[in-house]
Amino acid sequence: MTLKNLISPLRLGHSPFTLKHRIVMAPMTRIRANEDTFAPTPIMAEYYEQRASEGGLIITEATHISIEATPMWHIYPTVRQFGGQVPGIWTSEQMLKWRDVTKAVHLKGGVISCQLLHTGRIAQPDVALHPLGIDATELPPVSSSATPIPFSDDVNDQYAWDKPSVLPRPLRTEEIPRLLDDYAKAAENALNAGFDLIEIHAAHGYLIDQFLNDGVNKREDMYGGGINNRCRLLFELIEHLEKVAGAGNVAVRLSPTSMESDQRYFGVDDSDPVTLYSYAIEKLKNLAYLLLTEPRVGGLTDVKEQGLLNRIYRSIYDGTLIGAGGFTPESAEHAIHDGSYDAIAFGRAFISNPNLVDRIKQDDGKNLTPWVRKHFYGGRGRVGYVDYV
């Protein structure tokens, strides 16, 4: 099979960029930032440079907008054992170190999008013990409501919480402008760092998702109740960031859950997810792209191929639609050919195949190097990070 659709050009939504192929590097938390500063390290710049390609889109790992937004990822045993940290982009040092990353990608002709994240109730008070957290006035956890993370070993919850968590406090209505400004400051830093696009991480059980879903959002103000109110924060955030980055340069990631798959992320769910996400997606306009995570995505477990449950949103979204979650090169080609998606984001395949684009072009990706899961999260060295060839 020749993957001609996967390697064909694509105009990227309302942005000024045209990609030379549709093989996108998905955002992947790898936890290799500087442990004292949350800034990217030289090895991170090398990692992104290895995976960049001419006219290819790279989406960064989740990059945190403030100390309030930042978790200490001890949920992963490898982080507890080997160390490592997630990156931020709210300080000058973080911004300057991200410049090394964007420069490396641009030198190879790539396009790079900075994924901005506030984790909401996932961030815990132990961040106050970090040097950057000691003097912070706003510390986690915060959320849409005082709804706890359920302790879970449910196989349907891709990020089951396996340790005690602190009950989050609801963000006050009058705090929302401050939250939007935190995002705006992070976006300004990202642009100053050389990023081409800004992606809002509104998925996977993090803060925006905690506002969208009524299983968590129990608010009685303008940000709670009906679907239109629960989507308000997302829409306001898009508008806020468009003022910073320009219309067409902002993207969104969503992870529509499905009653059929019973999929959840950190225990976040909704009583009517199809109606919720249909409403949200139909209102999204002028984006660089919309990235949807298929419910089959593997978080902490391996997954097998399933049908594309999120193809139902194709008919209500007329912009560039990127799919992610469990794709092979062959299934990605089919998804583009049948119109389900315009491009496909690969995660684990990019981890172990830094030259994934070339491998797909050369032999349709039939001889890909397998990944080693134990090296996915955390660490300080090259093993399992930049030593794949």
Catalytic residues: 206
Return the number of other C-beta atoms located less than 10 Å from residue 52's C-beta.
23
Q: What is the Cα–Cα distance from 347 to 178, expressed in whole angstroms?
A: 33
Q: Tokens for 275?
A: 């109606």
20-46: burial string, b at 16+ Cβ within 10 Å, e else: bbbbbbbbbbbbbbbeebbbbbeebbb
Q: Tokens for 84?
A: 């490592």
Rg (CA), the chain: 19
Q: What is the Cα–Cα distance from 297 to 269, expressed in whole angstroms?
A: 16
Cis peptide before 141 (omega within 30 of 0): yes
